[in-house]
Chains A and B, each alone.
Chain A
Amino acid sequence: MDQHILQIKNLRVSFNKSKQKTTAVNDVSLQIEVGQTVALIGESGSGKSITSLSVLQLLPSNGQVEKGSITFNGKELLKMPEKEMLEIRGNEISMIFQDAIASLNPSMKVGVQITEGLKYHKLVPKEELKTEALQLLEQVGFKNPAQVYNQYPDQLSGGMKQRILIAMAISCKPKLLIADEPTTALDVTIQRQVLDLIDYYKTDLNASVLLITHDFGVVAEYADWVYVMLGGHIVESADVYTIFKNPVHPYTKALIGSIPNPENGQERLKSIQDYTFEDTSYNGKKFAPATYTYDSSSFDAPSSLVEVEPMHYVRFYDVERKVVAIG
């Protein structure tokens, strides 16, 4: 039996602006198994959020999926009518957004917002909505749910707002939770609470999580499988242990290198340089894409994921290119 709850194959998403087309995501393939936490890691603008919005078909009006397929529980989402998508959104796939401040309507009470999903999907009778909301608030760690229920988002702290978003996302007990950088705007202690909460939900209901982040520290702790994204492509993918033990792509190495290590004492943190990946190679193969290069032909050149060791994939150019030795 197919254990994949979500499978994305060769996804390409582009945006039109002023009659110009920009490809934001290209040849992205990923899969998530039941009960698994998959991390999608990459820098801002690499296409992580666009990939997740494509799953829910909530791309901005000028964006469109050009190619590929997205299947959820064996059902093709890209061909699904809007009416059926409404049943999936919130109910089977839910999303936690990164900006908790902007993701809550400031003029609507928290309690009303939490029950929105339950109301749409008619999972709970109207008269029981409040009780359900209070339970959800308690579940996400509020000691005084009745008070929070009647508060406006502006009366809550950043961490509390993020927990409200989690309560909204898990209200319909979805099978797949997409967490789009859920801890970006939070301080470190609150980050842990929020991630533990998501992890607890996943374990409790045997749900799956697509964790979008740019923090390898978070990936190390919570993810089972990792996809590294750069310039709209997946450049490396492997299980979390392999990625940390044997990173191949220079961008993955740079990301891991930028994690602070207290044992290094006075040593300066490594920053990600403007890599020109065409200058590096692995066993004679050239890495792709060369995001920072000005050579657009190099950026657009065909590339694909190659298995460098069992279940460990790295993106290389398909065509032979001249390898410049470094150092």
Chain B
Amino acid sequence: MIIKLLKQPQAIIGFLFITGLLVFSFYWPSLLDVDKTESLKLQDFLYDDEGRIIDAPPYSPSQVPPLGSDMFGKHIFYQAIDGAKYTILIALGIALFRILFSVGITLLNPRSSFSFLNDIVQATLYLPTAILAYILMNSLIMKQSMEPMSTIKLIMLQCLILIGVGVPPLISTFSREIRAILNKDYITNTFALGSKKVYVYHKHVLPELSTKLVLLFAQQVVQTLILMAHLGVLAIFIGGSAIVVLGDIFSPMPVAIPLAGEWAGIIGMNFAKIKAAPWAILTPLTFFALLIFALNLIIQGIQNCLETHKS
């Protein structure tokens, strides 16, 4: 499988892009020779050489290269680069646990068609996952505002919700796939030799499922990223947020500031200023798009492998 994937140039490009972005996200201060704290600090005003105020944030890309700033004067580019590691790792983690939970639950009763679950999945097919996740995460945030909980606990619960909303459709998919494998003649032959179920799953079912698992994992990462972006627009951030009131006494403007630096948070935070500073949203959106594009390249590569395997 890995050797076959290495023969797919698009998969290699996608993988290198994501790995490169992740490495850059961890080491950007030393690679760009900048001070991280200085680069990500709030910048109230822009001054000219004589110390006079010439502008207030948000700053355009021409004023603060390369990609401008947000409404607090923080560099969007540095924020996006720094937030890449949180975004990628959270998405990878959620996708991984979705796959693990779904396979685990399916293997508890592999012969079951999970027909009740299929009915639920079919019924919720037209209900956007983002709305479901929003309702659940919003009630969590409401609860947190009344009974404060630690950030780690909050992140864990938020991740559990994001994992949970993706598991039922995956169980439905896996139960179909596993039943198809279990119906194969060589599985009956293996059972006829006296093998235990655990052995059959370990040696026959899971290896056969492996390519599909990798494909579904990549698809889940994409889905999680899209879901995170949607939740960001709805001002639901992983790791919670702090509310800052901007504006003046006559027109106060509460803004939710994400406590973690992931991209969805940058989008959500700047959504109120979409007309005044579109770059503050377009930059993380572009990063999202590039990341999803890279993942799609990997998915394409895996699908090519699956097709050559079939033929």
Contacts and interface: CB of A to CB of B under 8 A. Distances in A.
A107 B185 contact: no
A89 B186 contact: no
A103 B193 contact: no
Interface string B203-215: 1100110000000
A56 B186 contact: no
B192 A116 contact: no
B194 A105 contact: no
Interface string A198-226: 00000000000000000000000000000
A301 interface: no
Contact of B194 (A61, A88, A99, A104): A88
A116 B185 contact: no
Given A61-B111, A120-B196, A120-B199, A102 B191 contact: no
B189 interface: yes
A165 B67 CA distance: 66
A281 interface: no
Contacts of B193: 89-90, 94, 116-117, 120, 168-169, 171-172
Interface in A54-109: 56, 58, 60-61, 86-91, 94-95, 97, 99, 102-105, 107-108
A116 B188 contact: no
A245 B261 CA distance: 89
Contact of A99 (B185, B190, B207): B185
A121 interface: yes
Interface string B168-211: 00000000000000011110111111111001000110011000
Contacts of A165: 189
Interface in B94-139: 111
A104 B196 contact: no
Contacts of A58: 188, 191-192
B207 to A, nearest CB: 6
- Tell me what chain B mostly uses at the interface: helix, strand, loop, or mixed: helix
Interface residues of A, number: 30
Nearest to A178: B192
Max count, chain A CB within 10 A of own CB: residue among B191, B193, B196:
B193
A86 B189 contact: no
Nearest to A100: B185
Interface in A165-188: 165, 168-169, 171-172
A165 B190 CA distance: 11
Given A105-B204, A107-B207, A107-B208, A90 B194 contact: yes
Nearest to A171: B193
Contacts of B208: 107
B188 A86 contact: no
A296 to B, nearest CB: 30
A104 B186 contact: yes
Contacts of A95: 189, 192
A89 B185 contact: no
Nearest to A53: B188
Contacts of B190: 105, 116
Nearest to A104: B186
A120 B192 contact: no
B82 to A, nearest CB: 43
Contact of A90 (B183, B192, B203): B192
A95 B193 CA distance: 8
A323 to B, nearest CB: 44
Contacts of A117: 193-194
Contacts of B204: 105, 108
A120 B194 contact: yes
Contacts of A60: 183
Interface in A118-159: 120-121
Contacts of A102: 184-186
A97 B189 contact: yes
A86 B186 contact: no
A179 to B, nearest CB: 12
B190 to A, nearest CB: 6
Given A61-B111, A107-B208, A89 B194 contact: yes
Max count, chain A CB within 10 A of own CB: residue among B184, B186, B188:
B186
A94 B195 CA distance: 12
A168 to B, nearest CB: 6
Query: Which 6 pairs from chain A and chain B are nearest by CB?
Result: A90-B194, A90-B193, A102-B185, A117-B193, A89-B194, A61-B111
Given A104-B186, A120-B196, 17 more contacts: A56-B191, A60-B183, A91-B194, A94-B193, A99-B185, A102-B185, A102-B186, A103-B188, A104-B189, A105-B186, A108-B203, A116-B190, A117-B193, A117-B194, A120-B199, A121-B194, A168-B193
13 contacts: A53-B188, A56-B191, A58-B191, A58-B192, A61-B111, A97-B185, A103-B186, A103-B188, A107-B207, A120-B193, A120-B194, A168-B193, A172-B193
